[in-house]
Amino acid sequence: MPISEKDAARRGGLQPGPHSAQTSSADVVVVGAGVVGCSIAFHLARAGARVRVFDKGGVCAGMSARSGALVRMHYTFPPEAELAWKSLGYFENWSEMVGSGRCGFVRTGFAIVVNDANAQRLHSNVAMLKSLGVETELVNPAELRKLEPAVRVDDVALAAYEPRSGYADPVATTESFAEAAGRLGAEFHLSTEVAGLVVDGGRCFGVRDAGGQTHLCDAVAVVAGPWTDRLLAPLGIQIGISIERAQIAFFKRPLAVRHCVYIDAISGSYFRPHGNDLTLGGLGALAPETGTDPDNYRQSNDPEFVDEVRARLLARIPQLREAQYVRGHAGIYDVSPDSRPVLGAIDAVPGLFVAAGFSGTGFKTSPAVGAAMSELILEGKGRTVDISAFSFERIRNQRLIRSANEYSMGAGFGHTL
């Protein structure tokens, strides 16, 4: 339900709760200052809304800073692929699209490699992606080796290649969205935990921070990652987010070795270059620790993870055999029941919106998600991309997203494509 004059008038009549020493108001409150929350704030502010952003930490204090930050279009669910495709235009034209800061986008190309069991699925998915306008092509092993001389292809049945894909800087991207939103009038309340949602007559009219202050508004967008269900629970609403610890590691790469961004569906890994001399490798769910406390978890790499991700890198790029481990870290995935984001209004509570459950894939789609969520909140419908397929109603009614051509991934990859 979009913001309306009736909503604004109703908000004006709301009385603060008994523990609220003060009240303040805005058109939209965004809970969460990660890359998606800051993108939503930017797009709302650009459309003229008065926006306040709250985060218990700082800008990019959570999983966004720990993202692998791949920028690629290859998905098996068309609306998700469209979000990534529409986001690419931002990464490629950041100064024109956002107007300040930088995103650090580096174009490297992207390849997904599959075995015989996934070859027909790859055919179907590439056809779907091309129908959306994505620049991608099927390549056979010999063609892939010509594009990528360092790659091992003897176990590859087929690959798909995207020449315009690459990676970006997750911290710079998030901070740039925040700076641009602030320049347009958005207010950021950092180190300010949201303790609860303010609901009156079944409608959400704001948030209450941990200090007892009430912040009234016409709409609240909860973009709180693994903390989202905690805020929704008092309203009897749950997405069913699983909290999983996931890791990435950086290895020193010989200067002579070059490679693009890869998803290796055979070994079950993803990796990308990082600058001129590092390779980042990840396994989204190697022995995932479900139920992890997002406020208290081990942020360093496990030794067995480092060994395993190195082995899977070597399976595809043998010249990385001497690559030394440099550093790494762990972060927290907020995993939805079908590993796809939940985007949109909570119909049972007018004025309440959610963007959560990205399952480790939110960074690359964050520009288009921000645009579509802003349009939904202010106008009632996402125009940049129709995000209705990601609605909370699919969770409530157990109509989970299952793509027709999902891949069987190598063990430990961590999420569906």
Q: What is the pLDDT of residue 290?
A: 59
Closest to 78 in 3D by CA, of 119, 132, 133: 132
What is the rounded distance in angstroms from the CA atom of residue 195 to the CA atom of residue 267?
43
Q: What is the pLDDT of residue 17?
A: 37
Alpha-carbon span 379 to 113, nearest angstrom = 41
For 405, counting Cβ atoms within 10 Å of its Cβ (0-12 exposed, 13-18 middle, 19+ buried), the class is middle
- Smallest CA-to-CA distance from 206 within 366, 348, 349 is with 349
Burial of 303 per CB tally in 10 Å (0-12, 13-18, 19+): exposed
CB-based contact 180:95 (threshold 8 Å): no
DSSP designation for 281: E
Q: Which alpha helices (H) appear in 154-254, and where do they start and end?
A: 170-183, 228-232
Per-residue pLDDT at 19:
32
Residue closest to 83 by CA, chosen among 331, 319, 385, 300: 385
Query: How far apart are alpha carbons 9 and 412 in whole angstroms?
Result: 51
Cβ-in-10-Å burial (0-12, 13-18, 19+) of 15 comes to exposed
Cα gap 40→373, rounded to integer Å: 7
- When pLDDT is cut at 50, 70 and 90, the band that residue 287 belongs to is low
Q: How much is the pLDDT for 192?
A: 97
pLDDT for the residue 212: 95
Q: Tell whether the model's pLDDT for residue 8 goes beyond 80.
A: no
For residues 319 and 313, give the distance between their C-alpha atoms in angstroms, rounded to a whole number.
9
Secondary structure class of 64 (helix, strand, coil): helix
Is the CB of residue 184 less than 8 Å from the CB of residue 42? yes
In this prediction, residue 334 carries a pLDDT of 93
Q: How many residues does the chain have?
A: 417
- The pLDDT tens digits of the residues spanning 120-165 come to 999 999 999 999 999 999 999 999 999 999 999 999 999 999 999 9
Mean pLDDT of the region 39-60:
97
Tokens of 298: 């081990």
What is the per-residue pLDDT for 289?
A: 57
Q: Which residues does 266 contact at the CB level (< 8 Å), separation at least 6?
A: 113, 114, 115, 155, 156, 315, 410
Q: How confident is the model at residue 78 (pLDDT cuts 50, 70, 90)?
A: very high
Sign of the CA dihedral running 205, 206, 207, 208:
negative
Taking CA 286 as the corner, what is the angle to CA 359 and CA 60, rounded to the nearest 5 degrees?
A: 40
Averaged pLDDT for residues 107-132: 98
Q: What is the pLDDT of residues 335-348, one digit of tens each?
A: 999 999 999 999 99
Average pLDDT over every residue of 26-40: 96
Beta-carbon contacts of residue 295 (< 8 Å; ≥ 6 apart): none
pTM: 0.93
Is residue 12 pLDDT above 60, yes or no? no
Distance CA 412, CA 224 (A): 25
As a whole number, mean pLDDT of residues 327-341 equals 94
Q: How confident is the model at residue 2 (pLDDT cuts 50, 70, 90)?
A: low
Task: List, in sequence order, every residue forming a beta bridge with 25; answer none if it has no partner.
Answer: 216
Averaged pLDDT of the chain: 91
Cα separation, 250 vs 385, whole angstroms: 34
Residue 288's pLDDT band (boundaries 50, 70, 90)?
low
Cβ neighbours around 190 below 10 Å, total: 14
Query: Per-residue pLDDT for 410 more than 90?
Result: no
As a whole number, mean pLDDT of residues 318-328 equals 94
CA distance 105 to 169: 7
Q: Is 90 exceeded by the pLDDT of residue 262? A: yes
User: Mean pLDDT over residues 68-72, rounded?
Assistant: 97
Please tell me the predicted confidence (pLDDT) of residue 284. 67
Mean pLDDT across 225-254: 95
pLDDT higher than threshold 50 for residue 214: yes
161-196 pLDDT, tens digit per residue, is 999 999 999 999 999 999 999 999 999 999 999 999
The answer to whether 275 touches 250, Cβ cutoff 8 Å, is no
Do residues 167 and 69 make contact, with C-beta atoms less than 8 angstroms apart? yes
What's 253-264 look like in SS3? CCCCCCCCEEEE
**pLDDT value of position 26:** 72
User: In the structure, what pLDDT confidence band is assigned to residue 105 with cuts at 50, 70 and 90?
Assistant: very high
| Structural domains in the chain plus CATH codes | 5-65+171-240+338-396 (3.50.50.60), 106-165+242-332 (3.30.9.10)
Q: Phi/psi zone of residue 235: left (φ > 0), alpha (ψ -120 to 50 degrees), beta?
A: alpha
* Amino acid 6: pLDDT: 40
